[in-house]
Amino acid sequence: MNQRPERHSLLRPEAQVLKGILRGIEKEGLRVDPDGNLARTPHPVKLGSALTHPKITTDYSEALLELITGTHGNIETLRGELTDIHRFVASQLDNEIIWNQSMPAILPGEADIPIGWYGTSNTGMLKHVYRRGLAERYGKAMQCIAGVHYNFSLPDAVWSLLDTGGNRIEEQRSLGYMALIRNFTRYSWLLMYLFGASPAISTSFVKGQSHQLERFDDDTLYLPHATSLRMSDLGYNNKAQSELELCYNDIETFLKRLHGAVTTPFPAYEAIGTHRNGEWIQLNTNLLQIENEYYSSIRPKRTVERGERPSTALAARGIQYIEVRCLDIDPFCPIGIPETTSAFMDAFLLFCAAEDSPMFANNGFCRDSSDNFGVVAKRGREPGLMLVRQNQPVSLRDWGQELVERIAPYAELLDLAYNTDMHARALAVQQAKVHDISQTPSAQLLEQLKDTGQSFHAFTLQQSQAHHQALLAQPLPAETLTRFQHLAAESLADQVEIENSDTESFDDYVTRYHEALAEPVVAWSNTR
């Protein structure tokens, strides 16, 4: 093990700088009817415009809400805002609730799953047609899976303390974040074990498909030791992308391969074409329609300007933050992510940023890490499970305990910076899971099903109803409610303004959008 205990000591004299960490959350959740069936109603007008609202939008399906916080300097205000958004949405839904589980509710046939609609503007139609393409490529059911995305950034001073290399701050940041991503890739299997909460699914999700799941009851399928079927090959995985191995050794190679994926035709998608009966059905026939189609557990990110491509922004200004995308919704928490998860994520990501992060061999892709992640998603609670580290077998329990011990100094640093014991408490919760499989949310969910005799669907519906009532029981202060109502109204007006301002055809707009994707040139880097 290449442990470098002194790495965290580089931050200790300047621990207060860690108060500059920013984090944000994007939490998805399906709207369902009182029986737990996927809602087929339009996005509620009282929630505003899904195109322009900064806090409340939709992801793939018209029914898949996405609730977005701003960036926060501490976990308390972060979770406070996420709770407020949930409370507002709960108060505005008409005879519907949010399904508080990553794997979907009872789904109708593919033809009846509504795709997100964002109005008639070129911007809105681009989002809609992109989702049509996802339906053609992967099916609609997969696009109804929900999760929690955790956005995280470190203050620039941290990169100087860690001496990530590079001259300009854009380069220092990007080198540091790429090192973080490499370590995240090595160790993210631990997140699957600790926070995976989707070991079972409704039978409707795989109706008519072949699978290797076991029957729990008439309405429920599962794998006995699974942690996250959402992140297994049953969920976010597809054969076309399985051959796409992006490189996290440097941002130049990463962007070059991403550019290749969004500009290289793929035969199966060429066979589909871009139009059917005179209507757009996908934006292009390339391996990826746009950069965001790449399904990964973590992404380097940069805020984009309107109409700017993500890869163009990264090439021009470097990595600004990272987005963790592998967290399941916690079905036991009304807002889908407990305080202990947020606190652990901060310590884990700081650990990933600070610890040594060697370059990946094999053309920049770490096969062992990918395999470990997949094994833990499907078999993470299997007694005596072995993983692979540097081509050697190691037990999940031993490696997990070792990682918890290595993360501990970073939790201590965060507690020192914020004058709290939150991170140490969060670490203790995770350590208990490493020692006792029954403490994991995936094990607790299956135990609840066994104890109550409920199906996956019945249990999740009951939990979601209880969370809905708990949110309604704490109505928003009048001032906060008014602010959300104004945001909704403003977003609707903004959508109308965008629709009225269009001066070109959608065909021309799509052409111009694709032409804006130039070969990325990272001008600020000295590592080329």
Provide the b/e sequence for 130-145 (b: ≥16 CB within 10 Å).
Answer: bbbbbbbbbebbbbbb
221 phi and psi angles, rounded to 5 deg: -115, 155
- Where along the chain do its domains lie? 6-515
| Confidence at residue 1, expressed as pLDDT on a 0 to 100 scale | 41
Whether residue 8 contacts residue 49, with contact meaning beta carbons closer than 8 Å, is answered with no
Question: β-strand 220-222 against 275-276: which pairing, if any?
Answer: unpaired
CA gap 416, 355 in Å, rounded: 19
Task: Categorize the per-residue pLDDT at 2 as very low, low, confident or very high, splitting at 50, 70 and 90.
Answer: very low
Which H or E element spans position 298?
Answer: strand 298-301
Per the prediction, the chain carries an average pLDDT of 93
Rg (alpha carbons) of the chain, rounded to whole number: 22
Question: What's residue 431's pLDDT?
Answer: 98
Topology of domain 6-515, CATH: Creatine Kinase; Chain A, domain 2 (3.30.590)
Residue-wise pLDDT for 76-85, tens only, equals 999 999 999 9
pTM of the model: 0.95
Write the DSSP symbol of residue 143. Answer: G
Give the whole-angstrom CA distance, residue 478 versus residue 211. 50
Give me the pLDDT at residue 239, please. Answer: 53
Higher pLDDT, 360 or 228: 228
List pLDDT tens digits, range 118-171. Answer: 999 999 999 999 999 999 999 999 889 999 999 999 999 999 999 888 888 999
Cα(462)–Cα(464) distance, integer angstroms: 5
Instruction: Tokens for 47, please give them.
Output: 């929630």
So what's the pLDDT on residue 244?
74
Q: Is the pLDDT of residue 528 over 90?
A: no
pLDDT at 195 over 90: yes
